[in-house]
Amino acid sequence: MAVPKRKMSRSNTRSRRSQWKAAVPNLVKTVENGRVTYSLPHQAKVVTDSAGTELFLEYKGRKVADV
Amino acid sequence: MPTPSKGPRLGGGPAHERLLLANLASQLFEHKRITTTVTKAKRLKPYAERLVTFAKRGDLASRRRVLGLISDKGIVHELFTDIAKQVENRPGGYTRITKIGNRKGDNAPMAVIELVLEPLSAKQAVVAEATKAAEKAAPVEEAAVEAPAEETAEVVEETVEAPAAEAAAEETEEKTAE
């Protein structure tokens, strides 16, 4: 099995890792009950009660699945 | 007819894909709503809707074609009796896919695919009725257009024939006089 001959330098490791970037998600902006919310497009959203407990997934006013 | 899918088969090969799709479809007809990956849901949609179309036709030949794909007789019976009756007036689009985010273990995008069993909305029903009425009205108009044309043609023929007959009669008279 082929193995590395030399230890990789801290500089090389950090140079490689500096290229890791998080992609910005495309969000849609909607106004719900007077509050602006950002959410993923074309995807069911979690409905929560006032205490913040997750109830079910909803999409276009239709219950889709349980959480 | 669904468009043939391009790219690699689901599962390990063509046979595996056939089995996967048949199993997914039978589970969908049994439970009316299943959670699966987005890729599988998209491949299942045309497959399942084609089976529903067979169920709506409802004759023995189509039942045997469906039984060749789904081996569970109970599920096929349910498809041909309950589901076919519930989607009787729906002009296609028997399934609905809703994306529900990524799976925890492998971050695979998941979706819920379900049968659309609720009755058509009032607006959809009106549109369907209007198109049906238009179809009914169209042949009547065509017949009405055709009928006068035929009559005029007959009249023309008669007018053409009548002078010819008279001329012939005159000729014969002349001949007898001579």
**Closest by CA position to B40, among listed B126, B128, B112:** B112
Half-sphere exposure of B52 (CA within 13 A, CB side): 29
Q: Nearest chain A Cα to B102, which residue?
A: A43
pLDDT category, B134, cuts 50, 70, 90?
confident
C-alpha–C-alpha distance, residues B80 and A6, integer Å: 68
Do residues B56 and B88 make contact, with C-beta atoms less than 8 angstroms apart?
yes
* Minimal CA separation from A29 to chain B, in Å: 18
Per the CB < 8 Å rule, is A64 touching B101? no
Indicate if ipTM > 0.90: no
pLDDT at residue B159 greater than cutoff 60: no
More confident residue, B153 or B45: B45
Question: Model confidence over B115-125: pLDDT tens digits?
Answer: 999 988 878 78
pTM above the 0.80 mark?
no
Count the Cβ atoms, other than its own, within 10 Å of residue B37. 16
Residue B112 pLDDT > 80: yes
A vs B: CB pairs below 8 A: 21
Q: Answer whether B98 sits within 8 Å of A40, measured CB to CB.
A: no
Question: Residue A59 and residue B35: Cβ atoms within 8 Å?
Answer: no
pLDDT attached to residue B178: 45
- Quick: pLDDT tens for B20-50: 999 999 999 999 999 999 999 999 999 999 9
Q: Do A59 and B98 touch (CB under 8 A)?
A: yes
